[in-house]
Structure 1
Amino acid sequence: MLGNPFTFRQNDVDFFGKIYPSKKVNAVVIIVHGLGDHLGRYEDFVIPELLNNDFSVLAYDQFGHGKTKGKRGYNPGFDQVLESLHIVVKKAVEMFPQKPIFLYGHSMGGNVVLNYALRSPELIQGIVLSSPFLRLAFSPPAWKLQLGKLALKFFPGITMGNELDPKALSHDPKAVEKYLADPLVHDKVSPNYSIRFLESGEWAIENIDFLKLNALVLHGTADMLTDHLASVEISKKNPKKIKLQLYPDGYHELHNEALKETFLKDICTWINKNL
């Protein structure tokens, strides 16, 4: 699948994105990928399924990821991360006037999407959060968090390995092998991602009562990377706006699990109900 490439410039960084127009456009879905991830990893299954359901798709590589230029694993700040999504949202509005726009954020992208929706809901219809990174599923050592906060203050551009275990992504060994062989995947992370995203995740949980848009939150109960209980928490705090879908024994990348067809069907059904 080729898609139609587009670029934009922000903070002296050249961003890479793609537009995938469907023949019939019932809605537009903007995909925001996760940490170390890139838009190309959604072209095998997620994007074709969305197109088959008459949803046009926009996707882009975030700061420090994929084909977007710049240092791997680094961003200039959380506000700038939200601004890049806003630029893509405005592009979607321009290209598909009068069409409802939904945001689909996976993991770190789910954090971005939820924070964007809490701050700037005006141009979008609803949000989908896949295994959102609101809290980690494990507790990092206290010394490592303290070191990260010091690095954030004095060396915000420094990058280190994220120590992510690829086997925690999916039960499918082939999906894990493909991830490891992908030249655009990386394991780099800077304090501006790790520390700021931990803070923004907590901020989103604390302010979830103010969410004005309908949201679908999907999480595997066996996710070892992001905490599915944080997804449960926000759904309980704002049940009128948030629909929670849990997948027993599901790992982090539900779109690469054996249940992926059910997962995408749940997403498409929900979007259609919220047009």
Structure 2
Amino acid sequence: LGGLVVGQFGALKMRPVEGLVMSSPAMDAGLTIFQKLLLAVLLRLAPDLCVSNGLDARYISHDEQVVKKYLADRLVHHKISARLGQFIATAGPAAVAAAAHWSTPTLLLYAGADRLVNPAGSRAFAQTAANSPAVRPGMVTAKCFDGLYHEIFNEVDAVPVFDTLKAWLDAKF
């Protein structure tokens, strides 16, 4: 969810910043038609009702210890309200649309084998920025890590992820 919050922050240009880093943002929540319909109904009838978030913890990371810690963490919420669902469903596409006018240096890192959010949303964001004449070349740097799950910094071999982050930070700052 943090990557999506950063995307929303950048899309709304809430404050001037030197750069942004997004990690596997939920630019495309991958909602089915049924889920979209259910969300619309819940927003009208019970916007604060919480239901299961439907996330399968096995796909957080290939590192079993990371998954075990996630499952044991009492601060992890396994439910989601309709209001939060609406944020996730709308903020991602809004950030993708805003990528056509993106003006903050941004590193977008995402998992190619992500099963918690659809990596197509990150690809769409990167392609929108790259193909827009309003966006300076190099404003958005995107890197897909094929085979990795959602928490790319907590994968078994996260070294390439950290190396990419370090190289971008060194080049920009």
With normalisation by structure 2, the TM-score equals 0.89
Cα distance per residue 1:212-264 (max 9 Å; x no partner): 01111111111111121221122122122211111110111111112212212
Distance of 1:144 and 1:237 partners within structure 2: 26
Q: Bigger CA drift: 231-240 or 213-222?
A: 231-240
Distance of 2:24 and 2:120 partners within structure 1: 11
Report what 1:3 is aligned to.
Answer: none
Residues 1:163 and 2:61 aligned together: no
SS of 2:42's equivalent in the other structure is helix
Cα distance per residue 1:182-237 (max 9 Å; x no partner): 11112010111112221111111122111101111111111111121221122122
Measured after TM superposition, the shift of residue 145 of structure 1 is 2.0
Which structure has more strand as a fraction of its residues?
Answer: 1
Report what 1:67 is aligned to.
Answer: none
Residues 1:257 and 2:148 aligned together: no
Measured after TM superposition, the shift of residue 122 of structure 1 is 4.1
Unaligned runs of 5+ in 1: 1-107
Residues 1:237 and 2:135 aligned together: no
Which structure has more helix as a fraction of its residues?
Answer: 2
Distance of 2:34 and 2:25 partners within structure 1: 25
The structure whose RCO (Cα within 8 Å, separation 6+) is larger is: 2
Measured after TM superposition, the shift of residue 118 of structure 1 is 2.0
Measured after TM superposition, the shift of residue 121 of structure 1 is 5.5
Q: How does 1:1-275 map to 2 (within 5 A)?
A: 108-120=1-13, 122-136=15-29, 138-140=30-32, 142-239=33-130, 240=137, 241-275=139-173
Cα distance per residue 1:136-195 (max 9 Å; x no partner): 2x443x233212111112211111111110001011111111111111112010111112
Unaligned runs of 5+ in 2: 131-136
SS of 1:129's equivalent in the other structure is strand
Maintained 8 Å contact 1:118/1:212: no
Question: Compared with structure 1, are the counterparts of its residues 205 and 145 closer, same or farther at alpha carbon in structure 2 (3 Å cutoff)?
Answer: same
With normalisation by structure 1, the TM-score equals 0.57
Distance of 1:150 and 1:121 partners within structure 2: 30
Distance of 2:155 and 2:34 partners within structure 1: 34
SS of 2:103's equivalent in the other structure is coil
SS of 2:74's equivalent in the other structure is coil
Considering only aligned residues, what root-mean-square deviation do their CA atoms show, in Å?
1.5
**Paired letter, 2:83:** N
Identity percentage of aligned residues: 26
